[in-house]
Structure 1
Amino acid sequence: MNAPASLPNTSAFEMDRAHVLHPWANFGPFEKAGSLVIARGQGAKLWDEQGREYFDAVGGMWCTNIGLGRREMADAIAEQAERLAFANHFVDMTNDPAARLAAKLAELAPGDLNRVHFTTGGSTAVDTAVRVVSYYHHARGNPDKTDIVARENSYHGSTYLTQSVGKRNGDRIEEFRYKTEGIHHLSCPNPYRRPDHMTEAQFCDDLIAEFEALIAKVGADRIGGFIAEPIQASGGIIVPPQGYLRRMWEVCQRHDILFIADEVVTAFGRIGHWFASEDAFGVQPDMITCAKGLTSGYLPLGALILSDRIWDAMASGGHRWFTTGLTYSGHPVSCACALKNIEILDREGLLANAARVGAYFNTRLQTLADLPLVGNVRGQGLMLCVENVANKATKELLPDEVNESKRISDVCESLGLLVRPIGHLNVMSPPLIITEAEVDFVVDTLETAIRRVSDDLVREGHRLG
């Protein structure tokens, strides 16, 4: 065991490479190149250990909505930590910040979503939501109505259960095992990848018919819940066809299937609303999962918001126990952080800024659509991406080993911009404080990077266009 005294003489880069197993670690490249060590953040900007500055167009991990380095956030966290750093939240104990945050979320959430279960993040919120499906239907006398329906290329978290429910390209690896019984996946509602002979409206009809066919095959007496991100985030910024989510919700209503809106990314202003389900897509979900923008990344926190109807069914008779939860559920410091974050989002009009600047961002980003490597530019609010293709007419992708999106992000990084490579995409989800001038910098820098990588690919013998 190394003596602690030796640590100050070792760089964070070296310690990280020697000791840390990162989420989604790619072992070969990591062991060779190590990690980018971030030392400081202010607003939408980051600085690494060498003092190099970057504009963070990724927004941390879809989460730094109000921007970094805010003194009033630090003060709120410190004050609560001094007053009450921790309190048991199990069974019949609570604390003031948790109670006030639950009331605030009930106020902001649509319809009768008035009950809140706090978790540590998005994965644990979704994990709980899926389990509530079984609990709710069992309490109503339907113990076999437990199956869950999700979509291809969806992402709902990284616990064993939530990664089984999600099915994003690249997440399923042979070294892990996944739950398959009782989980069904429908087609991804990606208009860009719809069959060539279909209009978008016909594609939507086909998706709804697919859901109805699955219910007929499996049985409405077995399917208990449907889970959907309003916009599939890590799955590729998939904005569904017009009317799709509303019609899927109507199918759920007809068959007594709970509709879970996974708003871990879309909530708290990402596309201009506190919650996107009703305001953007006309859906009144039975449950909403949220995290990320709930605290703008200042502290870990997630929440499952559920309807009075679900609570009433689970609580009927007064004899049942809800046997799930986490040590840090309702953590007072995290809840105080979330309350201050919501106050800032509201006071500074950041939801409206996300909608306004997001529209400008989308318009500017569309100027890249004519580049030979760019197949599609899509998104809504401050969730946007560029999809790279080898052939614009056929939408054929480059071989995975070409890794063009990572190469583009590497060039961007060298120019002071962070964008996120996911498969053949370059994804952006900047803080909601972003300005139009900063959008111009992002788009201009991304264009430079795409052009440079395109030129390199042509020199390597790849045909583009």
Structure 2
Amino acid sequence: MTSQNVGTNLEKQEIWQKDRDHFVHPWTDFSTFKESGSMVLRQADGVSVQDADGKRYLDGIGGLWCVNIGYGREEIAEAVAEQIRDIPYFSTFGHHTTAPAARLAAKLADLAPGDLNHVFYGCGGSVANDTAVRLIHFYFNQLGKTSKKQIISRIDGYHGSTYMAMSITGVEFDHIGFDIDRQLVHHISCPNPYRRQEGQSLEAFCDEKVQELEEKILELGPDNVAAFFAEPIMGAGGVIVPPEGYHRKTLAVCRKYDVLYVSDEVVTAFGRLGHMFASQDEFGIVPDIITCAKGLTSGYLPLGATIFSDRIYEVISRPQAEGALFTHGFTYSGHPVSCAAGLKNIEIMEREAICDHVKDVGDYFERRLHELEDLQIVGDVRGRKFMMCLENVADKATRKLIDPEAKIGNRIADECQKRGLIVRPLAHMNILSPTLILSRDDVDFVVQTLRDSIEAATESLKVDGYLPR
């Protein structure tokens, strides 16, 4: 047992206390954190994690949409250790590189659709999207189109939590108490088919949302709009799968007005939908830029990438003036140890045909989850493959929501945790994004645990007066 791990109850309490007193967690609920603190995790393997008391949980959220190949992969540990011994770091500023950074860039160019052959590295998805904005602005400046600066994204789209990425993010709850740039970024409606008007066809709903994008471009002025950011399937906004043809039609609108299309594949890339990249293989589009992270290393080390087209590269790679540089980058751009992890991760995915596994077991996962629609409060089951969401409502006919004070998503997540399953609560929803090596038996456990947990949570809602008895 190393000093970093948790052994005795005394060590567990020490870690819990230090964490509570000093570690400010992302998305902390300060109304409960000071009393409850954090669950201390000490070990993980395969599809499961273990807490400091030795209790095992099937990880239904894949770390955070990211542990795609599962936990405890010795090959990743060995690749990382070997790279640390060879050369753990060197600056890529100027004209220096390392083998993992070069090889991974070439591999990503090979996997990405169309002519997306150029890679800029960062440390995660937020930075990848920030880089996309700077790249896009620089590109249009080089073309002399200096007014093309405005960014359009969507309500409930999630693109990160740096200042720029959070400004592009359209989840209003995440903006509470913080500032964002409302002059540069503009949001159009969420293409959520479950919330379309009564009697409206999916085709009409799709056309309405596409028209809204075109109207927003015309309102701002085509000479002022630089880019449209869109996740193929919206993740943290509730796993929203847009209607058929939405992405092809929005791309056509962008092409019409010389607006660059950024496909945020931070969640959907590297197998979650059964493809290395989903933009073309799942939705039939070749965007101008793809941003990715998470599954790129399966969460073993931080790494993100902005992958962009030959057309953009040809413009941004022209010297601005004698002695001028492309002055964008980070200390850890192309970090060799992270890139080594990314290379080994992709090698494992390809060797084990994980994308084919996702297509098979993912279809089974979808079918089994839809069986939960017979439960009283489950209004919608949506998503694809290993990216799924349950939306809970008070009334299925009207789609009326349960009182937010009931915290139904949390109630269900707590009930699941008691039974050995971790799912993500998101307001009135529960999200599932498990590791991609889930078996059919694992799926059966997840679905039965969810059924039992939702039934228990429903009874508690009745006891507390949020639902009629």
Pairwise same-fold verdict (TM > 0.5): yes
Asked if the contact 2:394–2:467 (Cα under 8 Å) also holds between the matched residues in 1, the reply is yes
User: 3-state DSSP class of the match of 1:342?
Assistant: helix
Map Cα deviations across residues 300-333 of structure 1 (whole Å, 9 max, x no partner).
0000001010010112246352222111110000
Q: Distance in 2 between matches of 1:238 and 1:105?
A: 26
Dislocated runs of 4+, deviation >4 Å: 7-10
Q: Distance in 1 between matches of 2:90 and 2:273?
A: 34
Question: What is the total number of aligned residue pairs between the two structures?
Answer: 458
Map Cα deviations across residues 252-311 of structure 1 (whole Å, 9 max, x no partner).
111100000000000000000010001110111000000000000100000000101001
Per the TM alignment, residue 8 of structure 1 is displaced from its structure 2 partner at its CA by 6.2
Alignment of structure 1 residues 343-354 onto 2, 5 Å: 343-354=347-358
Partner residue, 2:423: 419
* CA distance 1:10–1:405, change in 2 (3 Å): closer
Match for 1:41 among 35, 41, 44?
44
Partner residue, 1:148: 151
Asked if the contact 2:403–2:466 (Cα under 8 Å) also holds between the matched residues in 1, the reply is no
Per the TM alignment, residue 431 of structure 1 is displaced from its structure 2 partner at its CA by 0.7
Match for 2:257 among 255, 258, 270?
255
The answer to whether structure 1 residue 178 and structure 2 residue 166 are counterparts is no
Partner residue, 2:31: 28
Q: Distance in 1 between matches of 2:12 and 2:301?
A: 29
Match for 1:127 among 108, 127, 130?
130
The answer to whether structure 1 residue 438 and structure 2 residue 442 are counterparts is yes
Partner residue, 2:300: 298
Q: Distance in 2 between matches of 1:315 and 1:74?
A: 36
The answer to whether structure 1 residue 200 and structure 2 residue 208 are counterparts is no
Alignment of structure 1 residues 275-354 onto 2, 5 Å: 275-317=277-319, 319=321, 320-354=324-358
Q: Distance in 1 between matches of 2:409 and 2:192?
A: 20
Per the TM alignment, residue 128 of structure 1 is displaced from its structure 2 partner at its CA by 0.5
Alignment of structure 1 residues 371-390 onto 2, 5 Å: 371-390=375-394
Per the TM alignment, residue 185 of structure 1 is displaced from its structure 2 partner at its CA by 0.5
Asked if the contact 1:169–1:235 (Cα under 8 Å) also holds between the matched residues in 2, the reply is no
Q: Distance in 1 between matches of 2:156 and 2:302?
A: 25
Per the TM alignment, residue 99 of structure 1 is displaced from its structure 2 partner at its CA by 0.4
Amino acid of the structure 2 residue aligned with 1:171: D
**Greater CA deviation, 222-231 or 309-318?**
309-318
* CA distance 1:8–1:361, change in 2 (3 Å): closer
Asked if the contact 2:389–2:432 (Cα under 8 Å) also holds between the matched residues in 1, the reply is yes
Asked if the contact 1:77–1:337 (Cα under 8 Å) also holds between the matched residues in 2, the reply is yes
Q: Distance in 2 between matches of 1:32 and 1:392?
A: 36
* CA distance 1:446–1:10, change in 2 (3 Å): closer
Q: Distance in 2 between matches of 1:96 and 1:315?
A: 22
The answer to whether structure 1 residue 404 and structure 2 residue 408 are counterparts is yes
Q: Distance in 2 between matches of 1:127 and 1:197?
A: 40
Amino acid of the structure 2 residue aligned with 1:363: R
Asked if the contact 1:355–1:382 (Cα under 8 Å) also holds between the matched residues in 2, the reply is no
Amino acid of the structure 2 residue aligned with 1:204: C
User: 3-state DSSP class of the match of 1:207?
Assistant: helix
**Over aligned residue pairs, what C-alpha RMSD do you find?**
1.3
Q: Is there any run of 5+ residues in structure 2 with no aligned partner, and where?
A: 1-9
The answer to whether structure 1 residue 165 and structure 2 residue 168 are counterparts is yes
Map Cα deviations across residues 160-197 of structure 1 (whole Å, 9 max, x no partner).
111011111420112x1111112110100000011113
User: 3-state DSSP class of the match of 2:82?
Assistant: helix
Asked if the contact 1:385–1:425 (Cα under 8 Å) also holds between the matched residues in 2, the reply is yes
Asked if the contact 1:403–1:424 (Cα under 8 Å) also holds between the matched residues in 2, the reply is yes
Provide TM-score, normalisation by structure 1: 0.97
Match for 2:97 among 94, 108, 113?
94
Partner residue, 1:266: 268
* CA distance 1:150–1:90, change in 2 (3 Å): same
Map Cα deviations across residues 401-458 of structure 1 (whole Å, 9 max, x no partner).
1101101100100100000001111100011100111000000000000000101111
Per the TM alignment, residue 337 of structure 1 is displaced from its structure 2 partner at its CA by 0.5
User: 3-state DSSP class of the match of 1:328?
Assistant: coil
Q: Distance in 1 between matches of 2:32 and 2:144?
A: 52
Q: Is there any run of 5+ residues in structure 1 with no aligned partner, and where?
A: 1-6
Q: Distance in 2 between matches of 1:405 and 1:168?
A: 17
Amino acid of the structure 2 residue aligned with 1:357: V
Work out the percentage of aligned pairs sharing the same amino acid: 49
